[in-house]
Chain A
Amino acid sequence: MFDALSERLDAALQRVKGRGRLDEKTVDATLKEIRLALLEADVNFKVVRGFVERLREVLVGEEVSKALNPSQHVVKAVHDEIVTALGGQSVPMDLGNKKPAVIMLAGLQGSGKTTAAGKLATLLKKKGRNPMLVACDLQRPAAVQQLRVNADRAGVHVYAPVESGDPVAVARDSLDKAAQTGCDVVIVDTAGRLQIDQELMQQASDIRTAVDPVLTLFVIDAMIGQEAVNVSRAFLDDVGFDGVILSKLDGDARGGAAMSVREVTGKPIMFASIGEKLEDFEAFHPDRMADRILGMGDVMTLIEKAEDAFTEEETRKAEETLLSGDFTFEDFLSQMQMVKRMGPLKGVLGMLPGIGQQIKDADIDDKRLAHIEAIIYSMTPAERRDPRLLKKNGGRRRKRIAAGSGRSVTEVNRLLKQFEEARKVMKSVSKMAGMESSKPKGKKGQIAQARAAQKMLKQQGGAGLGGFSGLQPSPKKKG
């Protein structure tokens, strides 16, 4: 794990192997790389500076001699520090006993407040609450209508009496309205505003005073850059908030803003918005975010995705295949269909540690999967079960398959070749899987093992995966 950074650190840490503690010079070189990695992830310049200084203390005198791989060791230390910087643990939402409990959302334009309002309502409804959305964005055209539609989709109440006018009054009135309709949570959506707009910042503050929320949430775009610091500080000072919603985390931004906001405001990031659907909203996990900021694959997310996408039956069958060491096109086909359900291949691959960076610029088109499917469907069942039929004397078979699938013979040949490679990977993995399954269980141990398994896999797949780098486009053009 942690490959992007660890590769960079390898050079800096080359000399320390077997030399005991990290000396000043090595720490300097190491911190420089870490600094660059964080800046590239959009962590604010000043935040990086503070963080790196803290890290210096951790690293100086750090025992690395016993670590087989000093860079892994250091990256682990960096990772842990980032997790700490992000607040360590997920912070649960506590709405207290007040009825109605008011939640207010605030943030810049386009940060995703109205969408977050709908998602939050969906989440609360699922938890058995009876939320009401309140439309206090009387600025942006049709924002009120957008909130109405979101309320409708989420199946919750909405209070949207006016399209324009005084949002403070709407907010105030919503409390009575909630009492009348029996809603126990009120979610106040507000207009997007720039933190330098005194008038609108005052208005947001007035709304907050009027409804006295138990929770004010600051919504910030995960793609935001260095400005995260100024923006969040201004919202904290002028409006005030208790927690943060990080939106659009389903993009591929590294999300260093999370660290900036947390560092500057000290407020926890409570939720992450992770997709277009109203259900795509979850508690924020600092450890996953740390992986992401460091440019590392997010293994736990991958597993969760898989759990959603795979049925038990499928997993069981896949396990059998894995353990048997016998891998056919039929197995491959079903694997492919499982993986397809997890989303676009590139995204899923990107979650594998060590692969994400390699394929960052590669063009992996899911249409290829359809082509591969077509080729496999054009095989006879016997061929699918025994790919050897297509080898040496299978020329005519291959031609037939090409014709049947509408792909070229070259493509069929290439698929066969790659399938053979994949089969080798499967074989060696199945051997290890056999050994692994006798290890201890327990949540912690499982995760540790998961990581170990994944490392092992990387070594196994390493040779074949080199191929990914061949996919990368030619060096970037420089203006």
Chain B
Amino acid sequence: MGLETVLLIVIVSVLVVGLVAALVVGGRGSSRTQDLKVPDDLSGEGDILVGETPPAPTEDAPTLEAPPAPEAPPAPEAPEVAEPPVVEEPLTLGERFRKRLVRTRNVLGSSVRDLFGAGVTDEAWEGLEEALITADVGVTATMEIVEELRTRAREEGATSADAVVALLKDELRKALGDRDRSLGRATDGEPTVWMVTGVNGTGKTTTIGKLSAIENREGRAVVLAAADTFRAAAAEQLGLWAGRTDARLIRKDEGADPASVAFDGYMAAKATDADLLIVDTAGRLHNKTELMDELGKVKRVVEKQSGPMEEILLVLDATTGQNGIAQARAFLEAVNVTGLVLTKLDGSSKGGIAVAVQRELDLPVKLVGLGEEIDDLAPFDPDAFVEGLFSELEG
């Protein structure tokens, strides 16, 4: 059979199916909320092995849907990993952010000033465009920001470099939005629930480790649920972090239903009166519908018990290009992400994609990852970030 015939068949099939499917869908709109009603009864999933169960609940099993009774001996849940010696009083998180970016401090001011040193010219504006695009802010966002700046410069009569720098800072801060960047906490006495999501390799597990360290230091009891049951040794990785940060780890065998792990995690957090449950999830590319559905299920199953999760964080790698917008949009749609964590900002990447994402989707960056050390996680500081965007402009 000729290739062209095969091709025809394929295309026609896909086309026809797509045509019919897509258009039949046309009139929906409420289907997502309907989907939420899909029963997610976990009681039928008792065949899943429980590698490690919540340690002796203080009370009896909290609800009818409680996880199966402990059968495995409590495995060494917190491997003896040496606590990182906390030698000095840790810097406040804001200080750490600044310290990391110290080499970039004031660069925005001076380099942009240089750019506009010879006057507010077309070349200078183009140079600014280049700087923003090179920082991964994206073509569209860059064009719009620069256009707006040019208009304002004209209208407000900004003819000096200083005036342009002031406008630029203002415009970029505006692009970053002014949403609340603090992490949500439960107010009803129940454990706070944070879920951490993202595509593969952005640093979800590491971020959780660092979060757990911070929370532990602040005196909160933390439970980590290893709902990444897909990637090899993901639970071991999280387990090591649990050990380092005095957190309790809830895990099951590889391939177990992630929703059931998260569920058990919540039950354990509740039973042990923990303050915080952090759910680690498997990295998934946002264009894989079935994996995104799986994530939706994790959320639903936990929320059935806990009420709305306090935070659903999307971890975005600072090196990510324009695909970051598609990622954020897909995760937002699937699980209603509440904030971003921008990781690996200690490299030379500027993380400009965060500007585009915040502009487009109004999703606040809440945390930034600044290194591999346990303390290298800091609240997002818009001013430091904006300066960082231009750190190598004149380099």
Chain A residues close to B by CB (< 8 Å): 36, 39-42, 44-45, 108-112, 114-115, 118, 139-143, 145-150, 153, 194-196, 221, 223-227, 230-231, 247-248, 250-254, 256-257, 276, 299, 302-303, 306-307, 310, 315-316, 318-319, 322, 332, 335-336, 338-339, 342, 344-349, 352, 355, 359, 361-369, 371-372, 410-411, 414-415, 418-419, 421-422, 425-426, 429, 433, 436-437, 439, 441, 446-447, 449-450, 452-454, 457, 461, 464-465, 467-468, 470-471, 476-479
Contact = CB atoms under 8 A, between A and B. Distances in A.
A438 B343 CA distance: 57
A36 B7 contact: no
A362 B200 contact: no
Q: Which of B11, B324, B348 has the most CB of A within 10 A?
A: B11
B27 A410 contact: yes
Interface string B310-330: 000000010111111011010
Given A112-B200, A302-B10, A446 B3 contact: yes
B382 to A, nearest CB: 13
B288 interface: yes
Q: Which of B9, B14, B321 has the most CB of A within 10 A?
A: B321
Contact of A195 (B25, B287, B327, B347): B347
Contact of A322 (B8, B138, B209, B240): B8
Contacts of A345: 17-18, 21
A146 B233 contact: yes
Interface in B342-363: 344, 346-349, 352-353, 358-362
21 contacts: A108-B347, A109-B203, A112-B200, A115-B200, A142-B234, A146-B231, A196-B347, A227-B319, A227-B348, A231-B319, A231-B348, A306-B10, A339-B17, A344-B289, A414-B27, A415-B20, A415-B24, A437-B5, A447-B3, A479-B174, A479-B360
B219 to A, nearest CB: 24
Contacts of A307: 6
Contact of A364 (B9, B18, B136, B346): B18
B362 A477 contact: yes
Contacts of A355: 15, 18
Nearest to A317: B9
A221 B236 contact: no
Contacts of A253: 321-323, 326
A426 B16 contact: yes
Contact of B233 (A149, A447, A453): A149
Contacts of B13: 318, 335-336, 338-339
Contacts of A224: 319-321
B26 A470 contact: yes
A250 B290 CA distance: 14
A372 B20 contact: yes
Contacts of A256: 321
Contacts of B290: 344, 366
B8 A436 contact: yes
Contacts of B360: 476-479
B328 to A, nearest CB: 12
A227 B12 contact: no
Interface of B: 1-27, 31, 35, 130, 133-136, 138-140, 144, 174-175, 177, 199-203, 206, 209, 230-234, 236-237, 239-241, 254, 285-290, 317, 319-324, 326-327, 329, 333, 344, 346-349, 352-353, 358-362, 372
A106 B297 CA distance: 36
A365 B289 contact: yes
B151 to A, nearest CB: 15
B344 to A, nearest CB: 7
A149 B231 CA distance: 9
Contact of A436 (B5, B24, B25, B230): B5
A471 B25 CA distance: 9
Given A110-B202, A479-B358, A251 B22 contact: no
Contacts of A336: 13, 17
A479 B359 contact: yes
A33 to B, nearest CB: 11
A318 B9 contact: yes
A254 B323 contact: yes
B139 A221 contact: no
Contacts of B174: 479
B236 A251 contact: no
A225 B353 CA distance: 9
